[in-house]
Homo-oligomer: A and B are copies of this chain.
Amino acid sequence: MPLPPDRADGGPATSASAAADPLPSWRDTGPKAAILEFVSAVTDPGSPDLVPERDRVAVFDNDGTLATEMPMYTQFAFALDRAAQLGHPTDPTELRAGGIGAVVELVKLTHGSITTDEFDRVCREWMATARHPLLGRPWSAMVYQPMLELLRLLGRHEFSCWIFSGGGTDFMRTWATDVYGLAPHRLIGSIGSAEFRIGDAGPELVKGTDIQVVDDKAQKPVSIHRHVGQRPVLAAGNTDGDLAMLQWTAASPYRTLQLAVHHTDADREYAYDRDAVLGAGVDELHAAVAERHWTLVDMADDWATIFPPPA
C-alpha cells in the first residue's frame, strides 16, 4: 500500500488500469464525477480553468477524512497504551469524561520530556504491534482506499498534497509518510515545544510539554499559510474543525473543490456525526456544504470499498 514519497509527489501513472479508472474504489456517483471533472478542468492545458502546476496545492484533514477516527483517534490509542506503560493507566471513559483538560494532561505525560529520535522509535514500536478493534489490523492500515486513490490521482497531476491535522505532527510523521506516500514536510498537525541541546550523545531535540499550536478550526488556514505559503485549490475534511480550511480554499482566485466526508456506514466503518473523544461535530460544515454546493461524500453510498485489501 505505501507509495514511495517521490511517486506520490507527482510521478507518472503506474498501470493501464489506473489510467482507465483512477478511482476504482469510488462508486459512479456524484462525488467521483465531481472530482474527475475538477481535476481535468484545472490540469488540462487547454482548459479555461487551468491552474499552473506550482499552484496545485491540495490540503486534507487526517482523522476521519483519510483515516478512521473511531472508536478514538489513533494517537489517543497510542497515548493510552503509553500512559499505561509509564505506570499511569487511564481509561478511555475517564478520558472522555475529563474533556480537553484530561487530553492535555495525557499528551504531556506521553509525548513530552523525550528526544525526537526516541519518540520516533516509541511510536514505530507501538504501531508495529497495536491493533485496531474493527479489523484487527495495525491502526496505520485503517485508512480509506478511495482517499489513497485520490492522493495518487492528484500526485500524478502534479498536485502537492498536504495534511493539516489536529493530531500531533511528530506522531503522524512516524506512520503516515509511508502510508500516504507524502514527504514528512507535507504532514502538519498540532505542535509541541521542543528544545535543541547538546546532550551526551551529541546534538538532540527534546520534546517539551507545552502544546504550542493546536491545528484545528481557524488555525488550519494560518498553518497552511505558514507551512505552504500558497492558497489551496482543493480541500477535504469531515468536521466543523475543517470548515475554516475549506472556506480559505474556496476563496482562492482559482477554481476550487471542497470535499466533506460523511460517516454513514455503520456496517463497514462507523456512522456518527460527532467524534468520540473531543466531540467535534459536523453541523456547521454540513450547513456550508448545502449553502455553497460543496461536495458531500457519503461513505455508504459513494465508496465501493472502504479499506485497502489486507497486507
Contact A225 B203 (CB under 8 A): no
- A212-270 at interface with B (beta carbon < 8 Å): 218-222, 225-230, 244, 247-248, 250-251
- Indicate whether A184 reaches chain B with its CB closer than 8 angstroms: yes
**A244 / chain B contacts, CB cutoff of 8 Å:** 196, 203
**A195 / chain B contacts, CB cutoff of 8 Å:** 218, 222
Contact A251 B203 (CB under 8 A): yes
Per the bound structure, the CA–CA distance linking A102 and B198 in Å amounts to: 32
Query: Interface size (A, Cβ < 8 Å)?
Result: 38
The residue from B185, B221, B227, B228 contacting A205, defined by CB atoms under 8 A apart: B221
- A99-132 at interface with B (beta carbon < 8 Å): 116
Per the bound structure, the CA–CA distance linking A187 and B229 in Å amounts to: 9
Q: Contacts A221-B203, A248-B196: A229 and B185 contacting too (C-beta < 8 A)? A: yes
Contact B184 A230 (CB under 8 A): yes
Per the bound structure, the CA–CA distance linking A134 and B158 in Å amounts to: 41
- Indicate whether A293 reaches chain B with its CB closer than 8 angstroms: no
- Indicate whether A169 reaches chain B with its CB closer than 8 angstroms: yes
**A225 / chain B contacts, CB cutoff of 8 Å:** 116, 194, 205
Contact A222 B247 (CB under 8 A): no
A302: shortest Cβ distance to chain B, in Å? 27
A258: shortest Cβ distance to chain B, in Å? 12
The residue from B196, B222, B230, B248 contacting A222, defined by CB atoms under 8 A apart: B196
Per the bound structure, the CA–CA distance linking A229 and B182 in Å amounts to: 12
Closest to A199 in B: B251
Contact A226 B169 (CB under 8 A): yes
**Chain A residues at the B interface, C-beta cutoff of 8 Å:** 4-6, 53-54, 116, 169, 173, 183-185, 187, 191, 194-198, 202-205, 218-222, 225-230, 244, 247-248, 250-251
Ordered nearest first, which 7 A-B pairs have the shortest CB separation? A184-B229, A196-B218, A203-B251, A196-B221, A202-B251, A203-B247, A194-B222
